[in-house]
Structure 1
Amino acid sequence: MKRARFISVATLALLLPLAPLAAQDSLPPAPYAYRQLPDPAQEAKAQALMETLRCLKCQSQSIADSDASMAGDMRNEVRTRIAAGEDPEAIRQWLIDRYGDYVSYTPQVKPLTWPLFAAPVVFLGFAALLLRGRFRRGKRADAALRKDKP
C-alpha cells in the first residue's frame, strides 16, 4: 500500500513540471498574424502602427518584429481593423484602453504621467544652479588668490 502511494506521488512529482507544456497555445495563428493586407496603402498604415506598439510578452520588441503568439494576435487585430476602415489612432487608443499605456512606444502626457516628463527639466535646472554657484565660488577664490600675491 505504501509502495503504491509512493509510486503515484513520485509519478505526479515527475509529471508536474510538464504541465505548462500541456497549456501551450495549440490554436492556429490568427488570419492576419503573418499575412499582409491585399491593399498596399492599408498595409502601410497597419505596418506604421504596428511598429509603434510594444509586444507585451517580449517587451523590447514592437508587435511588427515579435514572433510571440500575443503579438501575432495584436497584428491580426490591427490589420483587421485597418481593413475595416478604422483610423490608426482609434486602434492605438483601443489597445491602450485594453492593455494600458505600456503598449504604446509613444507615451501620452496625462495627470498621472506629467511628472515623468517634467522631472528631467527640473533636474537640469537644479544642476545648472549647482554649477553656477560652483563656478562663482571658483572665480571668487581665484580673485582672492590674485589679490594676495604681490
Structure 2
Amino acid sequence: MMRWLAALLLLAIAAPMAAQDTMPPAPYAYTQLEDPAQEEQARELMHTLRCLKCQSQSIADSDAPMAGDMRHQVRTRIAAGESSDEIREWLISRYGDYVSYEPQISSTTWPLFVLPVILLLLAGTVLLRRMGRKS
C-alpha cells in the first residue's frame, strides 16, 4: 500500500515537471536576428542579464528553457525597435532586480551598497584603536 502511495505521489510531482520541458523553444531562443547590428545589440544585452534558473550564468550562456524564453523576448523586442534600456526595465519589472548583473540603487537595494562601506570603516577604526593601545 505504501509503495503505491509513494508511486502515486512521485507521479503527481513528476508530471508537471515533465510537461514544462515538452514545450518547444521560443522561435528566437536559438535563432539569431537577420540584422547583424540588432543581433549584436541583443547579444550585448543578453550578457548583462542573469538566468533566473541557473543563477550563475547569463541568459546568453544558459541552456535552461527559461533563458531561451528570455533570449526570445530580448530579440523580439529589439527587432520591434525597443532600446536595450527599455527591455532591461521591462525584464526587471517582470522578474525583479535580480535579473540584472548591473543592479540599480533603489529604496530596497541601498543597504547592499552602504553596509560594506560601513563595515570596512568600523573594522578600520577597531584596528587603529588596537594598534594605538599596543604602541
Fold shared by both chains (TM-score > 0.5): yes
Q: Which amino acid in the other structure matches residue 82 of structure 2?
A: E
Q: Which amino acid in the other structure matches residue 105 of structure 1?
A: Y
Shift of the alpha carbon at 1:13?
4.1
Matched residue of 1:24: which SS? helix
Shift of the alpha carbon at 1:18?
3.1
Structure 1 window deviating more from structure 2 (26-35 vs 69-78): it is: 26-35
Shift of the alpha carbon at 1:128?
1.4
Q: Which of 120, 123, 126 is residue 130 of structure 1 equivalent to? A: 126
Shift of the alpha carbon at 1:59?
1.1
CA distance in structure 2 between the partners assigned to 1:112 and 1:98 by the alignment:
16
Structure 1 gaps, min length 5 = 1-5, 140-150
The aligned counterpart of 1:148 is none
The aligned counterpart of 1:144 is none
Runs of 4 or more, structure 1, over 3 Å off, are 9-13
Structure 2 gaps, min length 5 = none
Q: TM-score, normalised on structure 1? A: 0.80
Matched residue of 1:52: which SS? coil
CA distance in structure 1 between the partners assigned to 2:6 and 2:119 by the alignment:
54
Deviation string for 1:37-82 (max 9, x for gaps)? 1111111110111111111111111111111111100000000001
Would you say 1:78 and 2:74 are equivalent positions? yes
Of structures 1 and 2, the one with the larger relative CO (CA 8 A, separation 6+) is: 2
Q: Which of 99, 109, 113 is residue 113 of structure 1 equivalent to? A: 109
Q: TM-score, normalised on structure 2? A: 0.89
Q: Larger Cα Rg: Structure 1 or Structure 2?
A: 1
Shift of the alpha carbon at 1:16?
3.8
